[in-house]
Amino acid sequence: MIRPSSSSRSATVADTLADLLDEEDQLIRLEAAYGLVLRDDPRTAEAIDRAGELGPGFEHDHRAGALWTWRWQRNRPTAR
How does the average pLDDT of the chain come out, rounded? 89
pTM attached to this predicted model: 0.84
Residue 40 resides in a domain: yes
Cβ atoms 31, 63 nearer than 8 A: yes
Residue 19 resides in a domain: yes
Cα 1 to its chain centre, rounded Å, is: 18
What is the band of 76 on the pLDDT scale with cuts at 50, 70, 90?
confident
Predicted local distance difference test score (pLDDT) of residue 66: 96
pLDDT digits (tens, 9 = 90+) for 23-61: 999 999 999 999 999 999 999 999 999 999 998 989 899
Residue 80 resides in a domain: no
Cβ atoms 18, 32 nearer than 8 A: yes
Q: What's the total number of domains in the chain?
A: 1
The dihedral over CA atoms of 63, 69, 22, 36, expressed in degrees to the nearest 10, equals -80
Residue 6 resides in a domain: no
Residue 70 resides in a domain: yes
Residue 52 resides in a domain: yes
Residue 4 resides in a domain: no
Domain assignment of residue 53, given as a range: 11-75
